[in-house]
Structure 1
Amino acid sequence: MDSSLDVLIYAHDGRGLGHVSRSVGIGLALRRIFPDLSVLLITGCASTAELIGEGSLDWIKLPSYKTSVVCGKSSGVKGNSNIDDKLLGELRARNIRDIVAAYNPRVFLADHTPQGKHKELLPALDVSPATRRVLGIRAVVGEVDKVWSELAQGVFKANYSDILWYGDTSVGGAEEFARLEYHYGVRPYEAGYVSRLAELREFQGSEPEVEKLAGVVSIPWSGEGTAVLLDKLAQTLSGIGAKHGNWHIYMDLREPGVMAAISCFSKLENVSFMQVGPQFLRDLGNSRSAVIYGGYNSLTDVMVCGVPSVVLLRGMKDNEQEKHGAVLAGKSSVIRGVFSDHDVSVVQLRASICACLESSAEVVSVNLNGAAHAARYLAALTGVCDVDCES
C-alpha cells in the first residue's frame, strides 16, 4: 500500500471533551510506544492543543461544531466560523475526504460513529480503499441513535473491519460489549478505559512538593443550569470554610456570561477560577477532593489520580452519564456521591464534599491502560508489533 501515514485518528467534536480526549490519549500512546509510526489527529475541537499539552502528537484543526443543550437535548448551532451547522458538516466532509485521499493512511480510527458527525465521514469512504478502518466506542454508549442506527450498522459492515471498545467487562459486565457485537457483527477488542492523563504522566517529570489543594471543580462547558449550580457551589464552599485549603474551579472563561455567573464567589478568598487547560490535571493530582461532571474523560481522570470525588450529571436524553456513573459508583471507591446537577442541594453537596475531604486517595482496580492497549492493536494493523501487542 502506497501510504504517507500510518494512523489517522478522527475525533468527534461539538460538546464536551471526552471524545477528543480519548483520541488524544490513544495518539499519545502510539507516539510513545511506537515512535517511528506516523500519526495524525483530525478534529474541530478548539481545545485540542491544550489537551495534548507537552505530548508529541500533531493534528489538523477543522472548523468547530457547536452544540446547544436545552432540556437535555442537544442541537447544532453556528460555531466560531459562523457557518450554519448543516453546511459546516458538508464542508468538513470535503475537508476530511481530501485529507484521507492525500495521506492514504494504513489505518483510520473513527471515534464514536462510523459515519461521523453529520455523516461527514461518508465521502472519505470512497477514497483510499486499502485503508483499514476501525471504530472506537466508549465504555457505555447510552441511547445514542446515531450509534445504534441502521445507517451506522450498514456503513460499518460495508467499510470497517474492527471495533475498539474502551471499557472493562470486569467493571460494567458484558452487556454493552455484547450489544455492540450484535449490532455491528464484529467482536470488539476490549482495550480498557482510555486515560489521556495516564499517558501524559508517562513523560512528565516529578513535580515539586507543594501544599495540597482542598479540591478542584471541573465544569468544562456551560449549560442552561450552570449559573444555578455555581450559586449552590458558592454556598457550599462558604459553609465548608477555608480550613481545608484552596479551591480551583476550571471553566471555559471565554464563554459568554461566565464572568457574571461566577460573581457569587467574590467573597471567597480561597476560591480561584482557572481556564480549562493542562494545569487542571496537575491540580487534580494534588487535590484532596474533586467535583466533576460524569463524562468518561473526567471519570477516568479521577480514577487515575485516586481522588475522592463528587460526580454531577447533566441529565442528557441519552442517559449515558447516569448509566456509567451508577456502574462506576458501585465499583470504584473514589466516587463518593452521584447527583443531578439540576436537583442537587447545598446540603447534599456539602455532606459529600466533606466526606471526600475526610477520605484518603484510593487505589482503583479498573483497567485504565486502554490507550496503550488500543495503540498496540492499531500498530499491529499497520504491520508493526511488539512483545506486548497481544497483552
Structure 2
Amino acid sequence: MRASRVLIYSHDTFGLGHLRRSRTIANALAGTGEVEAVIVSGSAVVDRFAFARGVSAVRVPGVTKRPDGSYAGLDPQVPLPETVARRADIVLRTARDFRPDLLIVDKEPTGFHGEMLATLEHLRARDCRVVLGLRDVLDAPELLAPEWERKGSSEAVRSFYDEIWVYGLSRIHRPLAALPVGADFADRTTYTGYLRRAAPPPRPDRAEPGVAAEPFILVTAGGGGDGDGLIDWVISAYEADPGIPLPALVAFGPFLAPESRAAFLARIARIGRNVSAITFDSEIELLMEKASGVVAMGGYNTFCEILSFDKRAVLVPRTTPRREQEIRATAAESLGLARTVLEADGRDPARMAAALRALPDQARPSRANIPDLLGGLDRIAERVRALNAAAPALALGDRA
C-alpha cells in the first residue's frame, strides 16, 4: 500500500513560527512510515532547515510585513498582486502534481490574500480531505472576529474544510469561541495538545558557543523581527546587575534588523563574559535542551520547546499588533507552566534582573501535572489515519 500523501500549506509572511510548526508535523507524520509530505512555504530560510526522509519543501516567493501592518513582496520590483498570483500558481501546480490525500492549511483558511482559494476548489473536486490547523491562540476575540470576516475565513471554513485541529488545550484557550464557525464545527474540532519537540541529531560540523558548556540562560527572540524589546531588557538587566549568577546566551534570530544587532553586540562586548550572542541556530532545540532556563517572548513554537524540554522559563510576550503571546503567557503562568513579565508594567532592569536571579529556583512545567499537555503529534497521526480510513464518506459535495 502506498504512503498517504499530505500537503501542508504554510504562508510564512513573518518570522519562523508557521514553518517550524509545519515542519514538526510533517517530520512526525513521515516518521510513522505511512505518510509522504510536502510543505509549501514562503519562508526565506526554508532551505536552512533539515527535513525527515519523506518530507520535501516547495518555496513560493516571499512577502514581508511593513511597520504599518501592510505587506510587500521581497522583490521590490514586483507588485504585491503579481507576487500573490505567482504564489497561488505554484501552490496549485504543486497540488496538481502531488495529488494529496490530505491538505493541512496552517492558520489562514483562504491563504495569504486568498491565494489558496483556487487550490481549495481544485482539491474539493477530487475529494481530498482538508483540515485547518490552528495554534492554541490566534488573537484577542474582539480583534479576531472582524479579521476573519474581512478575509472571508468563516465562509471558506464552511465550504472547504472537513476538520479543525487546534494545537493546544481548551483549558488554556479556545481560539474559535468568538467566531461564527465555532458552534458549527464543534463536533469537527479536535484539541490535539501541544506538539512535543525533540532535539535533532547534531550536524557533524555543528559548533556551539563556549557558554553552552556550562550552566546558562538561553534568551531567544524567535525569528527576531520583533524581538528588540526582549533583547534590550535582558541586556539592560546584566548591565545593571553584573552579579546575576548564570550567564546569558542571546539568540537574535535571522530577522533582527542589522542595525539593532550591531548595537546589541556593542553593548554585549562592554558587559564581558556574562552575556554572549549568536544570530541564528536552525538546531536551537539542542541549545534549549542544555539551558538551565529560558527567557522568551512566548511564541507558539518556543512554548512547545519549553514544555517538551521541561525548562524553567520567563515569558516576555509582545502585546502588539496581536495579543496572542500575552494570552498564552498569562494562561501559562496561571497554570504554573512559566513566569510572565510584562513590558507594560515598565521595562525596569532591576525587575528583569530579579526574574533572572529567581529563574533557577522556579518549578519546572512538569510539576503542573496537566494531562495530555504534549500529546499533539500522536493525536494528529490518529486523525490522519481516521480521515484516510473514512475517505469514501467524506465526499466534499456532501459538506454543509
TM-score category, normalised to shorter length: 0.7 to 0.9
Q: 1:12 to 1:265 in 2, by over 3 A?
A: same
Alpha carbons 1:26, 1:372 under 8 Å: kept:
no
Q: Which residue of 1 aligns with 2:292?
A: 288
Task: Please show how residues 1-391 of structure 1 align to structure 2 within 5 Å.
Answer: 6-33=5-32, 35-52=33-50, 57-70=55-68, 74-79=69-74, 83-128=78-123, 129=125, 130-142=127-139, 143-144=143-144, 145-147=146-148, 151-169=152-170, 171-172=171-172, 175-176=174-175, 178-179=177-178, 182-183=181-182, 185-187=184-186, 188-195=189-196, 197-198=197-198, 200=199, 211-222=213-224, 226=228, 229-241=230-242, 244-252=245-253, 255-262=257-264, 263-270=266-273, 271-333=275-337, 335-340=338-343, 343-359=346-362, 361-363=364-366, 365-366=369-370, 367-383=373-389
SS at match of 1:41: strand
Q: Which residue of 2 aligns with 1:388?
A: none
Q: Which has the higher contact order (CA 8 A, sep 6+)?
A: 1
Of 372-381 and 45-54, the range deviating more from structure 2: 45-54
- Distance in 2 between the 1:370 and 1:204 partners? 24
Q: Which residue of 1 aligns with 2:397?
A: none
Of 254-263 and 294-303, the range deviating more from structure 2: 254-263
Alpha carbons 2:106, 2:132 under 8 Å: kept:
yes
Q: 1:244 to 1:83 in 2, by over 3 A?
A: farther
Where in structure 1 are there 5+ consecutive unaligned residues?
386-391
Deviation track 1:196-220 (CA, whole Å, cap 9, x = no partner) reads x24x56x789xxxx74432011123
Q: 1:147 to 1:297 in 2, by over 3 A?
A: farther
- Per-residue deviation, 1:332: 3.0
Alpha carbons 2:61, 2:86 under 8 Å: kept:
no
Deviation track 1:326-356 (CA, whole Å, cap 9, x = no partner) reads 11111133x1223137942212211111110
- Distance in 2 between the 1:53 and 1:369 partners? 21
Of 365-374 and 285-294, the range deviating more from structure 2: 365-374
- Per-residue deviation, 1:149: 5.1
Q: 1:297 to 1:113 in 2, by over 3 A?
A: same
Deviation track 1:169-209 (CA, whole Å, cap 9, x = no partner) reads 2x326x445556844722201211124x24x56x789xxxx
- Per-residue deviation, 1:107: 0.5
Where in structure 2 are there 5+ consecutive unaligned residues?
204-211, 392-400
Matched residue type, 2:374: L
- Distance in 1 between the 2:231 and 2:322 partners? 24
Matched residue type, 1:214: F
TM-score, normalised to structure 2's length? 0.82
Give the percent of matched residue pairs that are identical in Structure 1 and Structure 2. Answer: 20
- Distance in 2 between the 1:80 and 1:92 partners? 13
Deviation track 1:13-38 (CA, whole Å, cap 9, x = no partner) reads 111222222211111110112x1421
TM-score, normalised to structure 1's length? 0.83
- Distance in 1 between the 2:241 and 2:53 partners? 37
Q: Tell me the number of residue pairs that the alignment of Structure 1 and Structure 2 aligns.
A: 370
SS at match of 1:6: strand
